[in-house]
Amino acid sequence: MDLDGPESFAEDAGDDSDELVEGEQPAEDRFYIDADWHERQGLSFNDVVQERMCPQCQLRVGEEVEERYPVVDRKTRRVTYELRRVQYGSRPVSIIRDCCARKSQFIVPDMPVLEVVFRILLANGNQPMPLEHIRDQLREWCPTGRCQWLLLPPETVRRIVENDQFYGLRRHEIPEAA
C-alpha cells in the first residue's frame, strides 16, 4: 500500500447507514492532504512534500536506494517483499513519517496554522485525521501551550482548515457502498 496518499481508508466506514443509534456521536470529520489537488494546481505533490524534508534527507534526494515493496501472490494470497531500486525521495511522505518528523525542528512554534496541520498530516503518513487528534499532536510539539496554533479556539482552526486554498487540505469523504 502506498502511504503517500489516502487511497483506501474505508475501514473506518463501518455501517453505511446515516442514522445514529441512540447515544452514539456522529463521526468526526477527518482531514488529509489531497495530492490530486496539487496536480490540478500545476504543482508537483512530491516536490511540495520534499520541501518539508529535513536537510539530511534533502541532500539524499535522487540517490539510488533499495526499498522493500509488498507483493501478493495471487494463488496463495501470501505477501512477500521484493527489493526495488528507486530514487531516494520518490516517496517523500514515507521519508517524512519515518525520519524527518522525528526531528525537533520539523514543527516550530512560529509556523503558521496551516503549515503545522500540513506537517502533522505528513508525520502521520497522510492518514485522514480528526482535527482534535491533530490538536493533540500539536500539544506535544508545544509543551508550553503558548504556540499560536494552540491559542486559537477549535472552531477557528476548523474554519481555517476548511477554507485552505494553499496546502490541499480536504475533508475525507468515505465512499458509500454500492
Residue 95's identity, in one-letter code, is: I
Distance CA 58, CA 97 (A): 14
Residue with cell 520534499: 50
Distance between CA atoms of residues 75 and 95, nearest Å: 32
End-to-end CA distance of the chain: 23
The closest of 47, 78, 147 to 107, measured between CA atoms, is: 147
Low-confidence ranges of the chain (pLDDT < 50): 1-3, 5-21, 23-25
Give the per-residue pLDDT at 149: 83
Cα 112 from Cα 3, distance rounded (Å): 25
Between CA 32 and CA 124 the distance in angstroms is: 10
Residue 138's closest CA among 125, 151, 127, 128? 151
101: which 3 cell numbers?
518528523
Three-state DSSP at 89 gives coil
What are the backbone dihedrals phi and psi of residue 92, each rounded to the nearest 5 degrees, phi first? -65, -30
* Per-residue cell: 107: 514543527
3-class SS letters over 41-67:
CCCCHHHHHHCCCCHHHHHHCCCEEEE
Q: Shortest CA distance to 126 belongs to which of 95, 93, 96?
A: 93
